[in-house]
């Protein structure tokens, strides 16, 4: 059974540590990346089904990650997670092809729901919220 | 579905555009009158009182200002509730602070021939329960401390001197097709936060007067200069009262105005 490939990018290590287990439990193959520059390399080398990215990161922003992911594959669903959410940022993200956006702090279950929705849309029918 | 908010001091023209747009999109049309009627019924308040507070600007100079602020707050709360339904076109001059926070709300300003204003002013002289066009702009400025016709407040400004009603409606419908106006988890959560903030503000405004409320995921932030006078005791009482409201997990109170740009209503 093929698992959806998921990349989670956040320069704050705690975020990845907190979310990884839950996302794997859904049935995703999860890669965590704290360095956005390295994340861009990963995105260019491998087609991820779902990319979850923070926005405010040193040197490279989540918007750049979003653009890179959508350039690498228009099929990739990019979910934005940010502590600096505004209506303008949300609109910019949607215009650049984001799948969805959640403001931090959020409940991990809310993110999992979004991941399930995205994965099911991509044809991963075995994935479901626990 | 998205939300269209049509704001204008030209009530006749903007309501025709709103009607056209709602019909073409299959959205529900909500006018100021609809809002007042629904709020009056749901909150068991005389329709006359709600109508008066949105129409008679002179009353704001007098006593009972806090009571009037509460009625406006109730109308904004009702507007939040109505927006939770799928797809609405709202036409009116109330609720701007709510729309500005919702990324899937397309905010449209309608400009028209100022001569229309003059005839409307004459109409309002005959019918004192109606605000003139300038009266509407004055009301907006009084309540929201903003110039209603400042294009920076809107996503789209349409001038009816340059187009007719159906062209204006078509532009709104085409603009709404842009991906940026699609609802998303963030904007839907914003609506829930705004609804709770409105509810809290309604419960406080008669006590505190000018108060701003922000809400995020059950945490409530209250900003009011009134806390300076009452000190800790007043703040404690407010906190306790808000904590009893459904959906509230935590309350913080501040003695200053909310920071600019932050979500508050």
Domain span at residue A13 reads: 5-119
CB-nearest to A87 from B102, B182, B185 is B102
Q: List the alpha helices (DSSP H) in A1-130.
A: 13-26, 36-45, 62-72, 87-95, 108-121
Please indicate, yes or no, if residue A43 is contained in any of the structural domains. Answer: yes
Integer Cα distance of B34 and A80 in angstroms: 37
**Are the folds of B3-181 and B185-261 the same?**
no
Are B190 and A110 an interchain contact pair (Cβ–Cβ within 8 Å)? no
Integer Cα distance of B183 and A103 in angstroms: 14
- CATH number of the domain where residue A49 is located: 3.40.50.2300
State the pLDDT confidence band at B207, using cuts at 50, 70 and 90.
confident
Please indicate, yes or no, if residue A125 is contained in any of the structural domains. Answer: no
CB-nearest to B103 from A91, A105, A107 is A91
**What residue spans define the domains of chain B?**
3-181, 185-261
Both tokens assigned to A81: 């997670």
What is the per-residue pLDDT across B57-113, written as a single tens digit (0 to 9) for each? 665 565 577 888 889 999 999 999 998 877 999 999 999 989 999 999 999 999 998
Please indicate, yes or no, if residue A127 is contained in any of the structural domains. Answer: no
Are B186 and A90 an interchain contact pair (Cβ–Cβ within 8 Å)? yes
Query: What's the ipTM?
Result: 0.91
- The residues that bridge with B31 in the sheet, in sequence order, are B91
Q: For position B259, what pLDDT does the model report?
A: 58
What is the per-residue pLDDT across B156-169, written as a single tens digit (0 to 9) for each? 999 999 999 999 99
Looking at per-residue confidence, does A45 or B132 come out higher?
A45
When pLDDT is averaged across residues A78-96 and rounded to a whole number, the result is 95
The residue of chain B nearest to residue A101, with distances taken between CA atoms, is: B186
Residues A43, A72 contacting (CB under 8 angstroms): yes
State how far Cα B92 lies from the chain centre: 8
Are A102 and B189 an interchain contact pair (Cβ–Cβ within 8 Å)? yes
Q: Is A100 on the interface with B (CB under 8 A)?
A: yes
When pLDDT is averaged across residues A92-98 and rounded to a whole number, the result is 96
Residues B165, B19 contacting (CB under 8 angstroms): no
Hey, what CATH class is B3-181 in? alpha beta
Are A95 and B181 an interchain contact pair (Cβ–Cβ within 8 Å)? no
Residues B265, B201 contacting (CB under 8 angstroms): yes
What is the per-residue pLDDT across A33-71, written as a single tens digit (0 to 9) for each? 999 999 999 999 999 999 999 999 998 999 999 999 999
When pLDDT is averaged across residues B197-221 and rounded to a whole number, the result is 90
Please indicate, yes or no, if residue A128 is contained in any of the structural domains. Answer: no
Q: For position B260, what pLDDT does the model report?
A: 47
DSSP output for B47-91: HHHHHHHHH-GGGGGSS-HHHHHHHHHHHHHHHHHHHTSS-EEEE
Q: Does the B185-261 domain belong in CATH 3.40.50.1390?
A: no
CB atoms under 10 Å from CB of B125, counted, come to 10
Both tokens assigned to B184: 């998303």
Cβ neighbours of A105 in B, within 8 Å:
217
The residue of chain A nearest to residue B184, with distances taken between CA atoms, is: A100
Q: For position B150, what pLDDT does the model report?
A: 94
Are A102 and B185 an interchain contact pair (Cβ–Cβ within 8 Å)? yes
Closest to A76 in 3D by CA, of A47, A35, A114: A47
The residue of chain B nearest to residue A102, with distances taken between CA atoms, is: B186
How far CA B134 is from CA of B59, B126, B128, B130, B138, in Å, comes to 16, 16, 14, 11, 6
Cβ neighbours of B217 in A, within 8 Å:
105-107
pTM of structure: 0.87
When pLDDT is averaged across residues B170-184 and rounded to a whole number, the result is 96
Count of the separate structural domains present in chain A: 1
Q: For position B130, what pLDDT does the model report?
A: 60
pLDDT at B127 over 70: no
Please indicate, yes or no, if residue A126 is contained in any of the structural domains. Answer: no
């Amino acid at each position: 059974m093929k698992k959806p490939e998921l990349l989670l990018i956040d320069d704050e290590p705690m975020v990845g540590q907190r979310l990884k287990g839950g996302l794997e439990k859904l049935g995703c193959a999860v890669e965590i990346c704290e360095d956005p520059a390295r994340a861009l390399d990963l995105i260019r080398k491998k087609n991820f089904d779902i990319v979850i990215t923070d926005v405010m990161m040193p040197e490279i922003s989540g918007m750049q990650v979003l653009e890179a992911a959508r350039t690498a594959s228009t099929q990739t669903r990019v979910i934005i997670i940010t502590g600096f959410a505004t209506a303008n940022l949300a609109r910019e993200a949607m215009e650049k092809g984001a799948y969805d956006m959640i403001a931090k702090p959020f409940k991990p279950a809310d993110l999992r729901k979004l991941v399930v929705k995205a994965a099911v849309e991509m044809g991963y029918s075995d994935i479901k919220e626990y | 579905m998205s939300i269209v908010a049509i704001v204008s001091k030209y009530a006749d023209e903007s309501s025709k555009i709103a009607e056209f747009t709602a019909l073409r999109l299959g959205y529900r049309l909500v006018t100021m009158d609809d809002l007042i009627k629904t709020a009056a019924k749901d909150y068991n308040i005389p329709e006359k009182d709600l109508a008066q507070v949105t129409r008679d600007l002179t009353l704001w100079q007098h006593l009972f200002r806090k009571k009037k602020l509460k009625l406006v707050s109730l109308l904004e709360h009702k507007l939040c509730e109505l927006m939770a339904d799928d797809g609405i076109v709202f036409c009116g001059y109330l609720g701007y602070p709510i729309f500005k926070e919702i990324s899937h709300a397309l905010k449209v300003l309608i400009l028209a021939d100022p001569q229309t204003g003059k005839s409307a002013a004459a109409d309002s002289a005959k019918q004192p329960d109606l605000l003139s066009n300038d009266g509407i702009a004055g009301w907006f400025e009084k309540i929201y401390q903003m110039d209603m016709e400042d294009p920076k407040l809107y996503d789209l400004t349409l001038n009816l001197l340059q187009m007719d009603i159906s062209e204006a409606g078509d532009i709104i419908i085409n603009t709404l097709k842009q991906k940026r106006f699609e609802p998303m988890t963030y904007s839907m959560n914003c609506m829930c936060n705004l609804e709770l903030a409105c509810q809290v503000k309604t419960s406080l405004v008669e006590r505190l007067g000018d108060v701003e409320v922000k809400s995020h995921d059950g945490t409530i932030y209250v900003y009011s200069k009134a806390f300076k006078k009452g000190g800790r005791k007043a703040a404690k009482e407010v906190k306790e009262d808000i904590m009893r409201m459904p959906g509230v997990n935590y309350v913080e109170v501040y003695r200053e105005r909310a920071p600019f740009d932050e979500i508050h209503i």
